Structure 1
Amino acid sequence: MTKKMFASDNNSGIHPSIFEALLEANDGHAPAYGDDAFTLNVASKFHEHFGEESDVLFVFNGTGANVVGLKAMVRSHQAIICTEGAHINADEGGAAEGFIGGKLLTVPSADGKLTVPQIEQQLAHIGSQHRSQPKAISISQCTELGTVYTIDEIKELTSFAHANGLYVHMDGARISNAAAFLGCTFKEMTTDAGIDMLSFGGTKNGLMIGEALVCLRKEFSSELKYIRKQGMQLGSKMRFISAQFERLLTDNLWLENATQANRMALRLAEGLQKLPGITLMQPVESNAVFASVPVEQIQQLQKFYAFALWNSDKNEIRLVTSFDTTVEDVDLFLATVQKVFV
């Protein structure tokens, strides 16, 4: 087994229980394109976690979930308000604007969060035929900086958005980590808080492949399957995605995995804080640690470990833990850091 790295939770393996679910789904033949028993039955799991009115569709990846969900809500002459660091803006190769045809209206954010005043500033030109018309906001939970919106913060955003005719999309690639941190249910953080459309992450929390698009506003449900097909996100052997989500949402496996990742991030942060010259740049609220490290030490550490150099101007690195990160993995990394600082 190779040494664990801290570059991304995408680098982690597959949870053994998820692997078992894949093997079970591989028994014989099954109808394609979502007409299999696994896909039909897993809807009840999502109803348990998001309410009876929720509808779920499976896609291959997070970018697919985001752009399919947003296209259902936004037309080409309209716009989506998000932070500059939002995944849909910074890490999806222009997929949102390319697929939807609309525009992203971005705002700066020191902690990764979108605020009501920032949204309000983008509404000044509503009604002007010369400007893209804001129609949705997109927030990430957890944010790209590892921070977590409280339920009250989400409700404040959704209440303002809906009062101004805007829909609310949540990029939940790491939503399990957020729920674990807040100690709340998915429903409390999404359906009950006013979210209209959710990208529900699985790959970063133990799945091999696949994300779920959870529609929480019925008026969009009927169009999603057509948009998914047009967006090349309809899997023929869908049972292999559905079976993974069924297992993930059974017996709180999602919570077990996310809690382990979060705990390891905290352990990592606590160890780093004890070393001179290292400063945490964000509160550790999920499975990511952002720290400023002297440039000489960064270069030395990169000889032993893979991690992201997040902001070179601030010598800021990002370290990400996973469901399969262990105490031994963290302590081995910290021991390496200590040697580098000697």
Structure 2
Amino acid sequence: MQQLHDSDRRGFASDNYSGVHPAVLEALTTANGGHQTAYGADDYTARLQEVVRRHFGDQAEAFPVFNGTGANVLSLQSLLPRWGGVVAAATAHINVDEGGAPERVGGMKLLTVPTPDGKLTPELIDLQAHGFGDEHRAQPLAVSITQSTELGTLYTADEIRAIADHAHGLGMLVHLDGARISNAAVALGTELRDFTTDAGVDIVSLGGTKNGAMGAEAVVTLSERAGEGLVYLRKLNMQLASKMRFISAQLVALYEGDLWRENAAHANAMATRLRAAVEGLPGVSFAYPTQANGVFASLPTGVADRVRERFFFYDWDAAGREVRWMCTWDTAEADVDAFAAAVREAVEASTA
């Protein structure tokens, strides 16, 4: 097949834009050939269970799925009865970037809370964790947090433990959207279980696609109270892969060794490099710390559109002239330097 794109062109729009890490492609080739039992009864999905338990503990169980939205919806569905609601930050991916899937497909009510930095606290959870027993209100029975958040900020393990303890005290369960869980662990200098299993999280959406996979995520149950009905819900929600070995093989390739850590560390380092390269330019400011692989910058009028003539990226808050720049496993130093130079030129042109 003829290549239809310029493989030298890079952007900063999303860590979903990058290709597949060569080790993941190799894993897919290794998993190919011959016959393996379908629907998860294969050797690669069995190996994935071993890998997940090494990261999250012996009680952990993985349910591979196609995408992050599916992982989030399934996770939350398994925690809630039909009358349940989920307390989440207003900026959470489940609220602003999943097309209403948690509510329309999952059948749950999202109870959102404004936050200054994308992070929930026990006090913020209490803004929505009320009305227990009130038949007129969706019952707040789960909390969903994102690590790293949609604003690129991080929860410490202690902060998550405080949330889990508070939620459990109210009879609620805790879900962690880990689309960028690897970036968070690397930035915090922790293992994956330090801010999940050991912090009291009940269920995790384990990300792979944003960190070098072709398309592989998993729901990982961490407590006995989590995951009810997942074996049925996955099929019901069209997330049960017949040739599951190819999803599982990708996650094994990422998480069996240190590839997950190496990819995330590189992406984080490129984001740090990018911020340092443009920080201090006239009219450029930052609303949030750069803690993982995302940079959120406010730019002078017209600068974003000038830079977008050469590099693609998204507005985050167009009214505030705020943009989001994402780095990924294959972002090169030369890419960052060229992009920063384009920003610098556009800023200088805007102030000339």
TM-score category of the 2 structures, normalised to the smaller one: over 0.9
State the partner residue of 2:4: none
Deviation of 1:324 (Å): 0.5
Q: Does 1:242 align with 2:244?
A: no
Q: Deviations over 1:272-303 (max 9, x none)?
A: 10311100111000000000001211121111
State the partner residue of 1:225: 231
Structural RMSD (CA): 1.0
Select which of 75, 79, 94 maps to 1:88: 94
CA contact (8 A) 2:284 2:299 kept: yes
Select which of 255, 259, 262 maps to 1:253: 259
Query: Identity of counterpart residues, as a percentage?
Result: 47
State the partner residue of 1:35: 41
State the partner residue of 2:222: 216
Select which of 288, 309, 315 maps to 1:282: 288
The amino acid across from 1:296 in the alignment is G
Structure 1 segment 70-81 matched on structure 2, within 5 A:
70-81=76-87
Unaligned runs of at least 5 residues, structure 1: none
Deviation of 1:236 (Å): 0.4
Counterpart CA distance in 1 for 2:130 and 2:202 is 23
Counterpart CA distance in 1 for 2:128 and 2:48 is 39
The amino acid across from 2:15 in the alignment is D
- The alignment of Structure 1 onto Structure 2 pairs a total of residues equal to 342
Q: Deviations over 1:91-112 (max 9, x none)?
A: 1111111123221000111210
More displaced 10-residue stretch of structure 1: 196-205 or 332-341: 332-341
State the partner residue of 1:336: 342
Counterpart CA distance in 2 for 1:281 and 1:264 is 19
Structure 1 segment 106-255 matched on structure 2, within 5 A:
106-221=112-227, 223-255=229-261
Q: Deviations over 1:209-260 (max 9, x none)?
A: 1101100122434521101010100000100011111111122110000000
SS at match of 1:220: coil
CA contact (8 A) 1:76 1:100 kept: no
State the partner residue of 1:9: 15
Unaligned runs of at least 5 residues, structure 2: 1-6
SS at match of 1:192: helix
Structure-2-length-normalised TM-score: 0.95
State the partner residue of 1:105: 111
State the partner residue of 2:3: none
Counterpart CA distance in 1 for 2:192 and 2:269 is 19
Q: Deviations over 1:55-110 (max 9, x none)?
A: 10000000000001100111221110001111111111111111232210001112
Counterpart CA distance in 1 for 2:289 and 2:189 is 17
The amino acid across from 2:99 in the alignment is G
Select which of 38, 43, 49 maps to 2:55: 49
Structure 1 segment 18-33 matched on structure 2, within 5 A:
18-33=24-39
Structure-1-length-normalised TM-score: 0.98
Counterpart CA distance in 1 for 2:327 and 2:18 is 9
The amino acid across from 1:176 in the alignment is S
